[in-house]
Structure 1
Amino acid sequence: MKRVKIYLGLVCLLTLLWLEPQIAFARELNPFQTKMINPHTTCRIYQRLTHRGPSGSLCKAQTFKRSNVQASAVRKVRGKKYCYVWIDGHQAGWISQEAFLKRKIAVVPQISLVKNAHYSFPTRDAINYAVDAAGNVVDPSKVKVSRAEISSGKSDSYRVTYSYGKARAHTIVHVRSNAKEGIASANKTPQTGKSARSWFKHYKTSGNWGRSFAPETKPHRLKSGPFKLKTYFYQPATLCQGDSVTGTVGPVPEGMTVSNGSMYATMYHSPHDTRAHIVSYQLGQIPNRYIMQKLPWLPWSQFVSLASHVKVSPYLKLGHGQAIGSTSHYLYVIANNHLLRKTPQSEELMQISKKNLQIKRIWTFKVWNHSARTGRYFHNATFVSDHQFIAVYHDATDHRFEYWEVTRSGNSWYPKEIGATRGDFMRNDSPVQGIAYDKHKKQIYLAFNDYLFKLKRSGRVLASGHFHTGREFEGISVNGRHLYAELAQRPELLWQRIR
């Protein structure tokens, strides 16, 4: 992380040197203040701010209503306040304070919990965002709540109130009544697996990452077995300036999904965080493999044409971020704790709107093999539809991988084991880094560091690939007839056609 911080500092310094300096009369803001553009604003972003007011219109502020907006300075002119903003890490210009959302808390309106005496729901997980009277995004931990947790051991409904200053919001949390929901049998006969050995800590990078941190200029081709992945595009390491809690986007990717022509990546400041941002890219709007990694310092006109197709979510509860999938209208994330394994705890499932990248619904579910003593806690899952997901569970004690299909009826989620594999895949117990499902061929893909495996639903291994990249896979996804894979350091999307 020290190298990453040095890199971010260099990007900031170079940007300041290359672009026009800020007005000296403004009061600097340290740290940068995260803002949110009001989607209904008519304000514009201006190049300059003089004692007479703003001049040199750059574009409509509404263009960046789904971007990461950070203010580095504030100045009052003729009774109005203006902020100097950076957008997705790129130096932009002056914008009126009237353009920002203020005194608002957005929470998930209804939450449905499976009945489970072993779990309590942290109510702040329902916060999409909160902004104060000045339009600054507030750390969710600072929002007051009427109940910090709600036990799911008793069937009931609870009203939770959220407040910060004059901003108010509330949600209803309902605990479902069926205590047997989520209890199933892990009884599938394990299929013969494969045993390989991988490193536990990466030892290579994309090339320039870790050296000069300059943009990459060459593609990669990964060939092994039936896998023939090639670089689709490199992503920006970060879409921010500074290291504020709510405004830091990247540099650590953890999960990825592709659907309807867009790629969605979960981006963390640290792999130990549980809140992060989702960044979406419209693949059809990316002109070449290399341009997006330069987004924070491109010429303004080129930046606007590209960044207008990039969305950054608020600072959301995403857990470890690798249990992610997508359907036509929604993203789904199981906001898990990746340090838990055999536990009777419930897991949170977030339904996230693709339009605004905010959580729309939250459910919890549990999967127990007969009883709470043998709970299955999923670290990786992918969504087949709005009512079904497929997850993988590794039982390290019994040396067994299990594949579960979990189906929703109303607000309830019912698990069924569909297959199992004997063994551990990785002899050093390195974790699963992603799961994908091919609906056409009914096949499962698993990623481990720089290995890929293809399996039948039953758990029988069909093929494998070892790529010797020294880099971690950070999520895989199947969309249509293509397999996508994300590599870390630098974030890089690869793809291939499924034969």
Structure 2
Amino acid sequence: MNKKFTVALAASALLFSGVLASNVAAQNVEAKSFSKAVTKIAGNGNYDIYRSVSSSGPSSKIGSTADFKYGQIQSKRYVSTKKGNFWDIYVNGRHVGWVSQNFFARNEISVAKEVTVQSNSASSFSTRDAINYVTDSQGTAINPSKVQVSQAGVSTKSATVNYSYGKAKASVKVDVVDAPEKGASNVDPKTGFKDTTTWTGSSKSSSKNWNAAHHFTSETSGNTYSSNGLTLRTRLFQPRFLSLGYGQAGDAMGQVGVIPEGITVNNGQFVTSLYTSSSSQYGHLAMYNLNAIRSKTAAQNLTTMSWSAFKSYSRNIKVSPYIKLGHGQSLGSSSSYIYVMANDNNYTNGPKSEEILRIRKSDMKIDKIWTFSIASNRYIHNATFVGDGTMYALFRNGGYNKYEYWKLDLQGNGAWKATQVGATKGRFITNSPVQGFAYGNGSFYIGFNDYIFKVSENGTAQKSYHFNTRRELEGLSVSGSTLYVQLAQRAELLSGQAK
């Protein structure tokens, strides 16, 4: 609805860490307000951010969008002035100020630049999965389901797929390649660990303050967990949300968090997948530059830290658009890219192909997609990536009571060729699915709630670790000699020397 904003509103505005909350000041000006926030998509240019705006335009510059263009941007209102429309924005959940509508990507559809599909008559690649974002004439994000697509799926024949929404248009060539010869499961399994059980269901505990009794306030000190020579210490407590919180987003694209599913760390760049629901196939990736974010606890306080600190943190946190991530547990990364195996965790074994997404770290957008299948009736639920063009996958073979380890290499024609490299007898944990899978220095790490198992590449059992956290394990990663472990409630990244 339209409202008149006057000097009285300006006088009643709150202070945000030394920066006056943005106002519609002095002269009466019509403002368009929303009951819940819409999601905005940043464009390529840099624009000034202002404290106030009137019918004549903005005033009192407080910063630049250069600090915030890779954050999650939302808004609940905008005004029309003699100098164009200005939006009152929130970034990563914090109120920031007024910015020109020209800052946003308008009438734009962003899609992956390349898609390579392995021919599979029994499985079709959903072409909507290639969408990064869609915007209207004001730079507001539109749900990908509203986009018109010339072809819903591609399975055995290459096609150019066209996308349109209003004035926005895009296209991508989907190349179909012959699938490589299916890998054979012919590796004898090594003797495994003695099977045991753990607790099941959602987390039975939480970090100290992640509960109603403590009002979900920030943690002020880290944790240490030790088992069998491996000591894990808190590296980063993450914000509860990287957006406005529960019930404040007016679209599916808005809320970032609060459910983590997977992680990857490479040379100090930490990436985690975040969802609003554990059943969703769409979510966001958040990337933290640990080389710049040294504090274990400060990132929880984005909405209350000083303005200068918030700008610094915002430059070192990036949020992807709302994209297809599948279960989001199988991540990996190289120096320039994030990789996601976007599988359906509710699908068991069958002919369905799986997707690999390559996402640029520079702007957090999908630039390449492949589909693959490793072998007949072997649908992968856990995988990790080692640099560019190499993926390791874990398959639970229930019929033969073993785990199989597969290596997939990217071929010149865009197909991924699978070779089994090892196997281990047993189930390890009999009453819980795998919660994390990583590879480093010739060993696999397989995580369950409160348990981590280390095996060699050929499947030989090496060590097991038992940590009494009573919190869900939400991903593993190895970078150099360091093992990283993510726990839920609150999302907490721990690290220790991989021994």
TM over 0.5: yes
Rounded Cα–Cα distance in structure 1 between residues aligned with 2:211 and 2:14: 23
Contact 1:37-1:62 within 8 A present in 2 as well: no
Q: Indicate the residue corresponding to 2:260 in structure 1.
A: 253
Rounded Cα–Cα distance in structure 1 between residues aligned with 2:368 and 2:486: 27
Rounded Cα–Cα distance in structure 2 between residues aligned with 1:255 and 1:226: 24
Within a 5 Å distance, the mapping from 1:7-406 to structure 2 comes to: 19=16, 23=23, 26-41=31-46, 43-78=47-82, 80-150=84-154, 152=155, 154=156, 156-178=157-179, 181-194=180-193, 195-201=195-201, 202-211=203-212, 212-241=215-244, 242-243=248-249, 244-368=251-375, 372=376, 375-406=377-408
Q: TM-score, normalised by structure 1?
A: 0.91
Q: TM-score, normalised by structure 2?
A: 0.91
Runs of 4+ in 1 over 6 A off after TM superposition: none
Against the structure 1 CA distance between its residues 266 and 324, is the aligned structure 2 distance closer, same or farther, given a 3 Å change threshold? Answer: same
Contact 1:226-1:463 within 8 A present in 2 as well: no
Q: Provide the secondary structure at the position in 2 that maps to 1:293.
A: helix
The one-letter amino acid paired with 2:131 is: I
What's the C-alpha RMSD, in Å, of the aligned pairs? Answer: 1.6
Rounded Cα–Cα distance in structure 2 between residues aligned with 1:40 and 1:260: 29
Rounded Cα–Cα distance in structure 2 between residues aligned with 1:281 and 1:261: 8
Q: Provide the secondary structure at the position in 2 that maps to 1:236.
A: coil
Contact 1:29-1:74 within 8 A present in 2 as well: no
Q: Provide the secondary structure at the position in 2 that maps to 1:301.
A: helix
Structure 1: tracts of 5 or more residues without a match: 1-15
Q: Indicate the residue corresponding to 1:493 in structure 2.
A: 493
Q: Name whichever of 32-41 and 80-89 sits farther off.
A: 32-41
Deviations 1:186-214 (A, max 9, x none): 11111222211011122001121122100
Rounded Cα–Cα distance in structure 2 between residues aligned with 1:489 and 1:144: 39
Q: Indicate the residue corresponding to 1:482 in structure 2.
A: 482
Deviations 1:281-305 (A, max 9, x none): 1102113111001113323222111
Contact 1:446-1:453 within 8 A present in 2 as well: yes
Deviations 1:305-364 (A, max 9, x none): 111111111111111111110112111111100111211211011111111111111111
Structure 2: tracts of 5 or more residues without a match: 1-12, 25-29
Deviations 1:160-204 (A, max 9, x none): 1000001100011121134xx251111111122221101112200
Against the structure 1 CA distance between its residues 460 and 132, is the aligned structure 2 distance closer, same or farther, given a 3 Å change threshold? Answer: same
Q: Provide the secondary structure at the position in 2 that maps to 1:58.
A: strand
Contact 2:21-2:95 within 8 A present in 1 as well: no
Rounded Cα–Cα distance in structure 2 between residues aligned with 1:388 and 1:269: 30
Rounded Cα–Cα distance in structure 2 between residues aligned with 1:117 and 1:51: 59
Rounded Cα–Cα distance in structure 1 between residues aligned with 2:297 and 2:14: 23
Contact 1:84-1:92 within 8 A present in 2 as well: yes
Rounded Cα–Cα distance in structure 1 between residues aligned with 2:178 and 2:190: 36
Q: Indicate the residue corresponding to 1:8 in structure 2.
A: none
Q: Percent identity among equivalent residues? A: 37
| C-alpha displacement of 1:218 | 2.0
The one-letter amino acid paired with 2:109 is: I
Deviations 1:28-60 (A, max 9, x none): 22321111222223x211112234321221111
Rounded Cα–Cα distance in structure 2 between residues aligned with 1:141 and 1:298: 37
